[in-house]
Structure 1
């Protein structure tokens, strides 16, 4: 069992984590707060608390937004200890069949390709397109899914299957793209937009065809066997080409944070120090897309020179895994601001409420409650578009905006930048 006592003993019970905690904002109870989670985990390790179904329900209510770690004066890794206890929960109670099926597909890219293709072909049998918010709503009640819920769209061809392995754009550099599962199969406009940007910059592209899922969905659910399998395969694959590219760029905050932060933490906590070091060595060449484009290319100058200023008013939501985990928030704003009118919402750092697979299934009522105030916050800006470099946020916020009948729609900043270059 993981050593929870050291974390529990280090908590000074100051309560700074309480106001920023996403679950406490929608379910104000001391037990479902970072301070409560840590105290319960300490009691668990001392043998005073069994992880029964009640405790399971509590520990699965955390959104893993990391807001508590950002404000904690002792830098306690509350998110990490929750992830560890979820592994115990998965071992004791098992993982629901639909999650196991999902993780199986994430481990097997070719089968996922076939499943995605079949889903696209037969999608209209159960789903109908919602053009405004860029998703699909069920035609009737589906298992685990609310009838009025907005689901991600489906693409006829994944991004990885849309391009050859190498794209020559002029040789001003060469980057690999790690696309992320939602962007690869659902929100494919992100990948196509990224290719357009790199073409405009004359930067060659290596589509890393053998890439696997980053394993974030499995990690947040407690399926550590899947995490180990996917992380090791990705690390070994990245090492095979890392010296041949300037960077591996990731247009997804959650994937980027998983690769750059959580892989190393996962392996260190398992005592696999060699794999932890291998993961760490890759980090110097792995970047979120806007981070790399803003700081390592001439894109800011190109946008400035073209003088594009579209009429759309854009606001930006900070994905938890971008700002809180990686400290990335200036770069997407700087690039968007070159081409669009920009406005800040009152609390861009507040979690949207995605929360992972469990939160989006059994506990969707909590995700829905967390999404409502965020949608209202976006509406208050009067923005036409809310942007965030995260498809998990996109899935959550698009649904919240749809439910709120909001004016704003969602776009990844990569898509906005590509649109601006195209219209220049």
Structure 2
């Protein structure tokens, strides 16, 4: 048998895992499947066997490497701090080189990695999607008019005929204290354009003038986390070029998508600007936010996106302190607030039934808070949580934090 190795993954890294099983206690996928290869310990053992030439990377092994939401709960709880992300992404990369992407991942990567193709697709589909009923939990999403067997209600983001970054745009603050450049990401550009506008309004209210470059594209997360590293590197270089050629001296780049923020900070080395997640900017300006008042009393709980608390390691108190600072807002804590919602990017497409079980657990935890709304800072989480709330017939709204803050009297 020819010996193949997972690129960039050393024996030292793999054997750092002491197989204690701590990851089994927190892995959302293992909690559903109860199969050892579903958890980080099993995947690391499998990767080690491949690198030693004991087993081949066959299609079954590739399946188990993909059976992961990359929520990083395993890395967070690991007592010896195994860097799981440095194993799972190269393992998927080798699988892609050998077998190619699965049909659903291939379609997603192709769509999101070609800006013009995505803009054309959203423009053509927008009129038809408007015919679908709006989600009662999230106004920028639509419901399919029928239930899918084994899944139930299915929610899709509403495509927009005109992208948010249809041209280079400046949004000037009345009392400017700084200038920032907004890395919007493909979900805000093509689906959640109202939330993108609300992000800008919130930043303007804090005193930041905001510039949105037209030529920016997808951060590359769909390709990166699927193991298509060639496509990811292309997208990274394209974005590097756009931001490097900007003439203004911006204070920092801001993103309001947890995954975009994680990718920019962890995988875009030497990015032209320092990167801040919106919640970091909000926390830094909490004294000003204390003067903001929601129009009527509202109870709000918070879902911690995986790529904020673990990917970017942003402290969990940041969003909670911001919500507590708002007048007329009562923060309600939630059980397992930092557990994965089940989205996991294309994981939801590849393993919809497993994703649904993780999603429903999150939805039930939200429902148990008796909050009026659940807020978060990830468009994927908003969409997936809203779908879960639809499936349990909840009245709780799912809101990006910018959509909540924009309603406040300032």
Same fold (TM over 0.5): yes
The aligned runs of 1:143-162 (5 Å cut-off) are 148-161=153-166
Per-residue CA distance 1:218-273 (angstroms, 9 max, x = gap): 1111111110001112123222338611111100111000110133xxxxxxxxxx
Q: Is the 8 A contact 2:157 2:383 kept in 1?
A: yes
Determine whether 1:61 maps to 2:49. Answer: no
Determine whether 1:375 maps to 2:363. Answer: yes
1:20 to 18, 23, 26: 26
Unaligned runs of 5+ in 2: 1-5
TM-fit CA distance, 1:294: 2.2
Determine whether 1:167 maps to 2:171. Answer: yes
Counterpart in the other structure of 1:191:
196
TM-score w.r.t. the length of structure 2 is: 0.91
Q: 1:351 to 1:146 in 2, by over 3 A?
A: closer
Aligned-residue CA RMSD (Å): 2.2
1:287 to 253, 276, 281: 276
The aligned runs of 1:224-373 (5 Å cut-off) are 224-241=229-246, 244-263=249-268, 276=269, 278-279=270-271, 282=272, 285-295=274-284, 297=285, 300-308=286-294, 310-328=296-314, 329-339=316-326, 340-357=329-346, 359-373=347-361
Give the Cα–Cα distance (whole angstroms) in 2 for the partners of residues 205 and 371 of structure 1.
34
**Between Structure 1 and Structure 2, how many residues are aligned?**
399
Question: What SS is found at the alignment partner of 1:379?
Answer: helix
> Higher mean Cα deviation, 235-244 or 20-29?
235-244
Q: Is the 8 A contact 1:66 1:78 kept in 2?
A: yes
Structure with the higher helix share, 1 or 2: 1
Q: Is the 8 A contact 2:137 2:396 kept in 1?
A: no
Per-residue CA distance 1:79-117 (angstroms, 9 max, x = gap): 331111111111111124453343233233233222111
TM-fit CA distance, 1:146: 5.8
1:182 to 159, 167, 187: 187
Question: What SS is found at the alignment partner of 2:233?
Answer: helix
The aligned runs of 1:51-90 (5 Å cut-off) are 51-90=57-96
Give the Cα–Cα distance (whole angstroms) in 1 for the partners of residues 376 and 146 of structure 2.
30
Question: What SS is found at the alignment partner of 1:217?
Answer: helix
Q: 1:149 to 1:78 in 2, by over 3 A?
A: same
Q: 1:416 to 1:67 in 2, by over 3 A?
A: same
Question: What SS is found at the alignment partner of 1:313?
Answer: strand
Give the Cα–Cα distance (whole angstroms) in 2 for the partners of residues 54 and 307 of structure 1.
54
> Higher mean Cα deviation, 130-139 or 312-321?
130-139
Q: Is the 8 A contact 1:316 1:386 kept in 2?
A: yes
Give the Cα–Cα distance (whole angstroms) in 2 for the partners of residues 314 and 218 of structure 1.
34
Question: What SS is found at the alignment partner of 1:352?
Answer: coil
Per-residue CA distance 1:142-194 (angstroms, 9 max, x = gap): 9x996731112223332212x75222223321111111211222222221111
Q: Is the 8 A contact 1:133 1:402 kept in 2?
A: no
1:216 to 214, 221, 226: 221
Per-residue CA distance 1:350-400 (angstroms, 9 max, x = gap): 11111221x222311111011111111111100111111011211221111
Determine whether 1:411 maps to 2:395. Answer: no
